[in-house]
Amino acid sequence: MTHPQTTDPGPAVAELDTIVSLAKRRGFVYPSSEIYGGINAVWDYGPLGVELKNNVKRAWWRAMVQERDDIVGLDAGILMHPQVWVTSGHVGSFSDPLVECQTDHRRFRLDELPGGENLSATDLRDPGIVERLGLKCPVDGGPLSAPRQFNLMFKTHMGPIEEDSNAVYLRPETAQGSYVNFKNVQQSSRKKLPFGIAQIGKSFRNEISPGNFVFRMREFEQMEMQYFVRPDEAARIFEEWLPRRLDWYTRYGVNPERLRFREHAPDELAHYAKKAIDVEYRFPFGWKELEGIHNRGDFDLSRHQAESGENLEYFDPATEEHFVPFIVETAGGPDRSAFTFLIDSYREEEVRGEKRVVLGLNADLAPYKVAVLPLLKKRPEIVEIAHRLRDDIARDTMAVYDDTAAIGKLYRRQDEIGTPWCVCIDVESLEDGAATIRDRDSMTQERLPIEGIKRAILDKLSAARG
Ligand code: ATP
């Protein structure tokens, strides 16, 4: 198992702004509703961002569903029976400690205030904490209120009448959809314990202090997997998921020095958790959760069984026992993961006296796998070969054609968005039917017959998946 980092390796990129401006300029991420001044904590994925995020989701699905015969997928609704959120404890306690400045009425999450970052969970619930520590508004220095618990769920109404009896919530996590479908999935897929249910989908949280770009949004996506196990195996299986989940990030190129595990202190554990360990990444704004791995015990299924009246026990044919399974959960998200892959792959180099910006993304994650570039856009024969090659490759994977600048500049543009290979069609191609493939990282070039280029690219791509 990879050991937790004890020293600080520093972030891959010193300034978050470097990534934010690259993301906007090149079409990865834009502020939502920007022409109206934006809306706080919602971001839109542009042409390259949607490719990157889809690739992240596919890579997760491959590792968690496709490559395993003990995990199946599910896509549950965002809206659920409101009782689900009462039973799960979200209506009662899915909240963060909120403090308000008495003079400018700005609101802050207590554990994100300067001076509040290292408070224990017990301190965060202490009504006298603001006074005791002398905390002040970080904007105007005004006095702050005592903390109160602010529920993070978005509420809306189902049907044409807006009254409390038809209030529903936008789900704040995908996990509950897997719990309430436990019986359906187990019986229809005939899975025996241990087995898992994986989901990717939107979740919503009315975060008090969102920020740090797509790290903390109010509308985001999650990639969560619920693994149902025998109670006596939960502790061991929990430990097994730790290296597996950390290794998924390194398999896709994250530097292991910027990853670590952090165990939740007993007073920090969520109401459902027996044990929780986060995979943390060294973001430019500090070590933060990338994914949480939780041993949830039998809390979820026992509660849903008690409140719904449905029997959610499992019958183990091997031991002839009936019991409520324990759940080991891995809870991450494609937004935070894509953000991490962007940051960690960013590098600036000097090449022949010029700055070269490279996104060294794993080829499987890169938005475009290949760019096909004509050396001379005024030669129709060259342009035609380039288009034909792009169209052929595009049947199997993402490929782009570009002729809007000189070749050197075209290469740099592709480097900056992480395209692993560029194919240049030149004058010689007309004679020898061959073209050059340039590698993003080594910048070396190799000449291959045009008819073999697609196969070569697809082989490189499958090698990159590992
Ligand atoms: P935090 O402590 O950062 O608020 P959390 O412990 O509440 O996070 P979980 O409930 O464990 O987070 O959520 C699982 C995963 O969902 C997170 O690891 C993250 O990848 C993603 N996620 C949660 N909240 C957000 C958000 N507001 N914006 C983007 N991704 C999120």
* CATH code of the domain containing 434: 3.40.50.800
pLDDT of residue 5: 60
What is the count of structural domains for the chain? Answer: 2
pLDDT (tens digit, 9 = 90+) per residue, 144-185?
999 998 999 999 999 888 887 789 999 999 999 999 999 999
304 and 374 share one domain: no
Nearest CA to ligand 1 atom 4: 216
What span, in angstroms and rounded, lies between the C-alpha atoms of 51 and 365?
8
Residues 250 and 376 reside in one and the same domain: no
Report how far ligand 1's centroid is from the alpha carbon of 99 (Å). 21
Nearest CA to ligand 1 atom 18: 291
Residues having CB within 6 Å of any atom of ligand 1: 173, 205, 207, 216-217, 220, 222, 289, 291-292, 331-333, 335-336
What is the distance in A from the centroid of ligand 1 to the CA of 215? 8
Q: Is residue 109 part of a domain?
A: no
6 or 198, which is more confident? 198
Looking at the structure, tell me whether residues 436 and 292 fall in a common domain: no
List the CATH number of the domain containing 227. Answer: 3.30.930.10
Does residue 287 lie in a domain region? Answer: yes
Percent of the chain with pLDDT over 70: 99
Q: CB atoms < 10 A from the CB of 81, how many?
A: 14
Of 306, 341, 376, which marks where a domain is finished?
A: 341
Instruction: Let me know: does 134 contact 152? Beta carbons within 8 Å.
Output: no
When pLDDT is averaged across residues 200-229 and rounded to a whole number, the result is 96
Please give the full DSSP string across 38-61, using - where no structure is assigned. Answer: --TT-EEE-HHHHHHHHHHHHHHH
Q: Which pLDDT belongs to residue 4?
A: 53
The confidence score (pLDDT) of residue 6 equals: 67
Residue type, 404: T
Average pLDDT value for residue range 278-301: 97
With a cut of 80, say whether residue 1 has pLDDT above it.
no
Do both 331 and 261 map to the same domain?
yes
Task: Please provide the size of the chain in residues.
Answer: 466
Name the residue range of residue 315's domain: 16-83+170-341
**Same domain, yes or no, for 405 and 326?**
no
In a domain, 100, yes or no: no
Region 306-314: what's the mean pLDDT?
97
User: What is the Cα–Cα distance from 98 to 153, expressed in whole angstroms?
Assistant: 14
Mean pLDDT along residues 425-439: 97
227 and 332 co-located in one domain: yes
Q: What is the pTM of this model?
A: 0.94
Using pLDDT thresholds of 50, 70 and 90, give the confidence band for residue 278: very high
